[in-house]
Amino acid sequence: MGSPQVLVPACSDPAVASLAAKWRTIDDYEVRIDRRRQIVLELGLGPINLVGMDVGGMVVYADASRHPDEVRRLVLSETLIPGFGLEEMMNPSAEGGTYGFGFHGQVDLATFLTQGKETEYLTPFYRLTSVRPDAEEYGAAHYLPHFTGPNGIRGGFQHYGAMIEDGKANRAEFTTRLPMPVLVLNGDHGYYRGQLLAGARQVAENIETDVIAQASHAYAFDNPQATAERFRRFFAVSDTERLVIVDEIRQFMARYAYYADHKQFDQLSRLFAPEATFTIHDPQGVQVMKMTGPKEIEDVITTSVGDATAIHHLFSFTTEVHSPVAASSTVTMEDWIDGSTLKVRGYGHYHGEFAKVDGSWRIEKFVQTRLRTDVLP
């Protein structure tokens, strides 16, 4: 018995790291799901990629099945799905069944027999669930302390004590199969691959399956490079998603030009993220202006345009999609401004970096480079 987990990517952002650390400490499924949703809302993320391993896989299945619109892609790994195959594995008399699930599910008895003997009971699991020679030492150092404290071992068993009820709840909630792509992933020396795949086929429409080579149950620990590469491929932006995002950026920039032409600078400023920057460079490449944040952008543009009539033409778009929530684009532009104090016609490009927040695109960085500026009579 290791430490049940939902995999959370390492991140240098202190806000993400803090939220992820809090999330990892929650054991109850319902609370974990609520906390995950709070994190996503707090960070302004759209549909997310969700990865669950071991008991974490049971959590993310429950999450994705209750909130399918919030999950872009789902990984179920080294796990079993309560209600769809887990129960058979809890019966040691059934083919492939194991005593572990049934024994651990008897929370009081299992605690009585193992409390005070956590090291002797748990240490072999670290060796049996990894192909690395240092697995036992690593598990004893990083996992064991969580189980040797007051009620630590009981807390671990309580996951198992709830599994039958979790299965009933999953069955009761099941109305249609998961719509998002699902990757069923195991180590090549892992556990329950056939049973997990059979369960996944009952609950999901679109399934990929794969194994991580030279890895056991703790596949991400055993072979982190192969794990990261497999996730990268599974979570990559699809061709359909790419086409949709390219069109969304075109529509976004069309709104930008409309707001600029109609001098709706309050609406234009809302297209920018809170910490966005907007810089302007002259034909010689010299930066002539830099604005930071929507309010400054609105104020500077309002003052600069004044009473002038402004017309913006946007032409070719070169858009690169980095992820479902990040893109960059270079747009050929021409603008014509005719006012009492400012009469110019300019040619150049907009270079934008975009992020999708709360389901809407926002500009994070905007650079206008001029190739030519003509002063009109």
Task: Show the beta-strand stretches assigned E in the chain.
Answer: 5-6, 48-53, 71-77, 178-187, 204-212, 272-281, 287-292, 309-323, 326-338, 343-357, 360-375
pLDDT of 88 reads 85
Instruction: Report angle CA 21, 27, 28 to the nearest 5 degrees.
Output: 125
Model pLDDT, residue 28: 62
> Strand 204-212's sheet: what is its strand order?
5-6, 48-53, 71-77, 178-187, 204-212
| pLDDT recorded at residue 122 | 96
Model pLDDT, residue 276: 98
> What is the model's pLDDT at position 5?
37
Instruction: Provide the pLDDT for residue 275.
Output: 95
CB-based contact 181:208 (threshold 8 Å)? yes
Calpha distance 191→202 (Å, rounded): 19
Query: Structure tokens of 84?
Result: 């769809």
Q: If we measure between CA atoms, which residue out of 143, 152, 135 comes closest to residue 217?
A: 135
Structure tokens at 331: 């747009």
Closest by alpha carbon to 47, among 235, 266, 259, 295?
A: 235
Q: In tens digits, what is the pLDDT along the chain, a chain of 377 residues?
A: 443 333 333 333 444 344 444 433 344 667 778 888 888 878 777 789 999 999 999 999 999 999 999 999 999 999 999 999 998 888 777 777 788 888 999 999 999 999 999 999 999 999 999 999 999 999 999 999 999 988 899 999 998 999 999 999 999 999 999 999 999 999 999 999 999 999 999 999 999 999 999 999 999 999 999 999 999 999 999 999 999 999 999 999 999 999 999 999 999 999 999 999 999 999 999 999 999 999 999 999 999 898 999 999 999 999 999 999 899 999 999 999 998 877 889 999 999 999 998 889 999 999 999 999 998 88
Please check whether residue 22 is in contact with residue 38, taking contact to mean a CB–CB distance below 8 angstroms: no
Say what the pTM is.
0.78
The pLDDT assigned to 225 comes to 97
> What pLDDT sits at residue 21?
42
Note the pLDDT of residue 102. 86
pLDDT value for 20 = 41
Which of 347-352's residues contact partners 24+ apart within 8 Å by CB, and which partners? 347/371, 347/372, 347/373, 348/283, 348/372, 350/253, 350/314, 352/249, 352/253, 352/328
